[in-house]
Structure 1
Amino acid sequence: MIEFKVNGDFIPMIQLLKATNLVQTGGEAQIVVDEGEVKYNGQVDYRKRLKVKAGDIVEFNGETIKVI
């Protein structure tokens, strides 16, 4: 599990995927979100600009990110 400390109130989903090095570029992050490869709190979510906040869990490509 990856623990990611968010600075501020939230981080957009595509920026979170880049910041945790699960994707190389913002374009790649948008593609994986569009294709339904990302789960947000247990549910597939297609929103690229989704505001991920402390306490949320994001799953992608066999990795789990806990936002703290």
Structure 2
Amino acid sequence: MQEIELPLRGEHIPLDALLKATGLAPSGGTAKQLIAAGEVRVDGQVELRKTCKIRAGQRVTLGEQTVVVVADPEGGGD
């Protein structure tokens, strides 16, 4: 299983935006379709909410790829 580490800027990122930002989905529309089809898991559970807030410490899985969300070492934010 391939793991991608995503430094989080701010407090959270919407699930569909995370899929697009990491390249797991080529577009926001595709990301929303994958989520609606039940193909995306957050912390091991199927997640159907397209704009679910993903925070540091959570794991998002699509197929054989997992995104590990980590706090931005520079503090993120504005």
Match of 2:38 in 1: 36
Structure 2: how far apart are the matches of 1:61 and 1:18?
A: 15
| Structure 1 residue 27 displacement after superposition | 0.3
Q: Gaps spanning 5+ residues in structure 2: where?
A: 71-78
TM-score between the two structures when normalised by the length of structure 2 = 0.86
Structure index of larger Rg: 2
Runs of 4+ in 1 over 4 A off after TM superposition: none
- Percent identical pairs in the alignment equals 41
TM-score between the two structures when normalised by the length of structure 1 = 0.98
Structure 2: how far apart are the matches of 1:27 and 1:57?
A: 21
Question: Equivalent of 1:57, from 44, 59, 69?
Answer: 59
Q: Gaps spanning 5+ residues in structure 1: where?
A: none
Structure 1 vs Structure 2 CA RMSD:
0.4
Q: Does 1:47 align with 2:49?
A: yes
